[in-house]
Amino acid sequence: MNDLANSTMTQKAPPERIDFNTPELQRKRRVRALKDRLTHWYVLVGGLAVLAAITLIFFYLAYVVVPLFQGAELTTRKAITPAWMQDAGKPLMIALEEQNLVGMRVSDKGQALFFDTKTGAELQRVDLPLPAGTTVTSIGADQPGNPLVVVGLSNGQALAFRHTYKITYPDNKKTITPAIEYPYGQEMFTLDEDGRPLEHVSLNVNDDTLVVAGSTGAHLQVLSLAREENMMTGEVTTEQSRIDLPQMTETVKAIYIDPRQQWLYVINGRAQADVFSLRDKSLNGRYKLLEDGNAEVTASNQLVGGISLIIGDSKGGLAQWFMARDPDGEQRLKRIRDFSMGTSPVVQIDAEERRKGFVALDASGKLGVFHSTAHRTLLVEPVAEGAGILALSPRANRIIVEEGGKLLPMSLRNPHPEVSWSALWSKVWYENYDEPKYVWQSTASNTDFEPKLSLSPLTFGTLKAAFYAMILAAPLAIAAAIYTAYFMAPGMRRKVKPVIELMEAMPTVILGFFAGLFLAPYLEGHLPGVFSLFLLMPVGILVSGFAWSRLPESIRLRVPDGWESAILIPVILFTGWAALTMSPFLETWFFGGDMRLWITNDLGITYDQRNALVVGIAMGFAVIPNIYSIAEDAVFSVPRSLTLGSLALGATPWQTLTRVVILTASPGIFSALMIGMGRAVGETMIVLMATGNTPVMEMNLFEGMRTLAANVAVEMPESEVGGSHYRVLFLAALVLLMFTFVMNTLAELIRQRLRKKYSSL
């Protein structure tokens, strides 16, 4: 009884209360709350910092790029009225030296006067050695950048001289000493044997050959002076010959000689150009320069390099012309692009010495600054009260205009004239090209070169590389992810997935090195085997699967469920070995022993050893782990209840996969593809090492490409900080960043839409 009572009392005793408000638990709660707050702020600050960093990168790139599209700035200084101008004669030519400290003025009196550009003070006056009783009637110069000048005289003769500027530092003070030199002696070139005044004159030096041309009315005379040095004695002999050309019918306005001494351009009549071949001594053709019958040519000049002519007319128009081949292969003078200054006649054109830019002055005193290749009008501004004569410095940062007995000095700031929207993204007709093209060629060996800064082939190459990489990577990665997550046994999945994800740790420089040094030559030597591998591998897998399905159940059931894919390992190895082993025999049977030559000669397809096929394989290998990992997680994360419910309703595993699992996982799969695409677009080292880095716009699988990222990596170390090339490379980086941003934004929008659409499954 006592035991029973004690037991009853024990059962009815109130339960022991747990105190949740002890100091130890309070301390733990405070620590946990502190950790939560710290984690919250850490994630918040980290996310905002990432957004801020991306925003700052964007604005920094834009800060570097914006100056490319700014125009020119002209600063007018105080006019100078030098005393020597009263008796210096009529100006025929003004030139500036490199430092913009000394100017040269050649007048009709046969004097070369050097003056201080800051004060206008006379520094030196040199009388040209002209025959007694003669005057200067015309003047001409070699192409921009060459200080060789020729003057035509009233007796039909011509004299060539060069203006030089020697820099010394006596007493640590910079001193520029101007001088006149006569590289061909002070002897005259007799152009007009009848002694008539030369109204126009021009010359050109090419190696050891000097060509001088002059005209009187419609009469044209051309002399060639060739120098030859004896290698044994050092004696120099000169041979002078006359080049007889068909005579003109119109009065000559200007003469220009091609720097290769192949063409002679003669502007004549109101608006006509005759082009003569100096090699064949024949007329190439007569070209109408202006469509407007009421307009006439009033000014002309050559651009640096001497290939292009700039023609100015009486209506304020300017046009660029140069020789290009017709479809029939004949060289013809063609009008390339037009500019406009206004309505007043253009009176003078002066070309830059280092870029394809030029300045023009019209009869109303307006000055225009232009760039031919970029087709840019950078500035049109009034600087004088009327027509004058101008000089542009070699650095194109100083201009002097003589007008009304005064010198008008001006400073010109024009850092990036060669960049425009059309030059970056449109086809451009470059000198020595037969048609407009997309070209990237940023550097050359001389200043005659016009930079070709088209981003179109680089952008095309970026998309081409990503396209071929995704063709290989996307099907393999997505199919592998679906099979691993849905069909594969858990034990095998735990082994396969880490191995594939481990591929992502492979440095891309190693992949690029392998692709460039081994894969590219191997593919070239085994092309039939590689292409047969792409065909035989799917066939081999399907045949092996069909054969497996026809085996007795007693054999098939010995393989655990979900481990069937292991049987494909020997099939894949055997198929690959067989295809590559048969490659030499296939090449002999079907392609005459050399498939590469067959592709080039019979199909007419260019084949480069480092091509898009190599890049597609190597970059696809690098992209597969990214796509696979994200897509596999998306498929594996589909609720098991959806799969089991579909199977319980009578759907087959394949129907469940295609109509339930893939649709539910589609946002994640799409994200995986977009992330892989972004990785392929931004890849640098693989395309840098596995392609020929040729900026071509060809979708040809057997040609290489140059991408935006690879171009920045290659050329940024060699670019001049702050120069046009440097800023265009930053523009390429900005284009790549914006492309990635737009792609990711669209991907997120599509992903959200897919998630909303299939969230009810």
Identify the CA nearest to 95 among candidates 25, 55, 41, 144.
144
**Residues 733, 61 contacting (CB under 8 angstroms):** yes
Backbone angles phi, psi at 409, to 5 degrees: -80, 140
pLDDT digits over 560-572, tens only?
887 888 888 888 8
pLDDT of residue 566: 84
Q: What is the pLDDT of residue 361?
A: 95
Residue 545 identity: G
Asked if residue 3 has pLDDT above 90, the reply is: no
What is the arithmetic mean of pLDDT over 642-653?
86
328-348 average pLDDT score? 93
pLDDT of residue 287: 94
Is residue 58 over pLDDT 80? yes
Output the pTM of the full model: 0.87
Is the pLDDT confidence value at 417 over 90? yes
Identify the band that residue 1 occupies on the pLDDT scale cut at 50, 70 and 90. Answer: very low
- At 432 the three-state DSSP class reads coil
Q: What is the mean pLDDT of residues 379-408?
A: 91
Positive or negative, the CA dihedral 512, 514, 519, 522 is positive
Q: Can you give 545-582 as a three-state secondary structure string? A: HHHHHCCCHHHHCCCCCCCHHHHHHHHHHHHHHHHHHC
Helices and strands in the chain: count of H runs, count of E runs:
19, 31
* 538 class by beta-carbon count within 10 Å (0-12 exposed, 13-18 middle, 19+ buried): exposed
Sequence length of the chain is: 761
Residue 652's region, left for phi above 0, alpha for psi from -120 to 50, else beta, is beta
Q: What is the mean pLDDT of residues 580-585?
A: 89
Candidate from 230-244, 258-272, 459-473, 475-489 with smallest mean pLDDT: 230-244
The predicted structure's pLDDT at residue 18 = 61
- The gap between the terminal CA atoms of the chain, to the nearest Å, is 66
Q: Would you give the distance in Å from CA 456 to the centre of its chain?
A: 7
Contact 497, 485 (CB under 8 A): no
Which residues does residue 215 pair with via DSSP β-bridges, in sequence order?
200, 220
Over residues 116-129, the mean pLDDT reads 92
Domain boundaries, the chain: 31-69, 456-758
> Which CATH number fits the domain 456-758, given the four candidates 1.10.3720.10, 3.40.366.10, 2.70.50.60, 3.50.50.60?
1.10.3720.10
Q: Which residue has the higher pLDDT, 536 or 11?
A: 536
User: What is the model's pLDDT at position 2?
Assistant: 53
Q: Write the CB contacts of 393 (distance below 8 Å, at least 6 apart in sequence).
A: 96, 97, 98, 100, 399
Q: How far apart are CA 475 and CA 530, in angstroms?
A: 18
Once rounded to an integer, what is the mean pLDDT over residues 474-490?
A: 90
pLDDT-derived band at 315 (thresholds 50, 70, 90) equals very high
Chain segment 232-290, per-residue pLDDT in tens? 766 767 788 899 888 888 899 999 999 999 999 999 989 999 999 999 899 999 999 99
| Region of poorest pLDDT, from 390-404, 461-475, 594-608 | 594-608
Q: Is the dihedral of CA 340, 422, 59, 744 positive or negative?
A: positive
Question: Has residue 444 got a pLDDT over 80?
Answer: no
pLDDT score of 627: 92
- What value does the mean pLDDT take over residues 628-641? 89
Whether pLDDT at 135 is above 60: yes
pLDDT at 739: 87
Q: What is the CA radius of gyration of the chain?
A: 39
CA–CA dist 244, 688 (Å, integer): 55
Tell me what percent of the residues of the chain surpass a pLDDT of 70.
Answer: 96
| Mean pLDDT computed over every residue of the chain | 88
CA dist., res. 627 & res. 661, Å (int): 17
Is residue 13 scored above 60 in pLDDT? no
- Find the helix packing angle between 568-581 and 583-590, rounded to 10°: 40
Q: How sure is the predictor about 448, in pLDDT bands with cuts at 50, 70 and 90? A: low
**pLDDT in the model for residue 447:** 60
pLDDT in tens, 65-109: 999 998 899 999 899 999 888 888 899 999 999 999 999 999 988
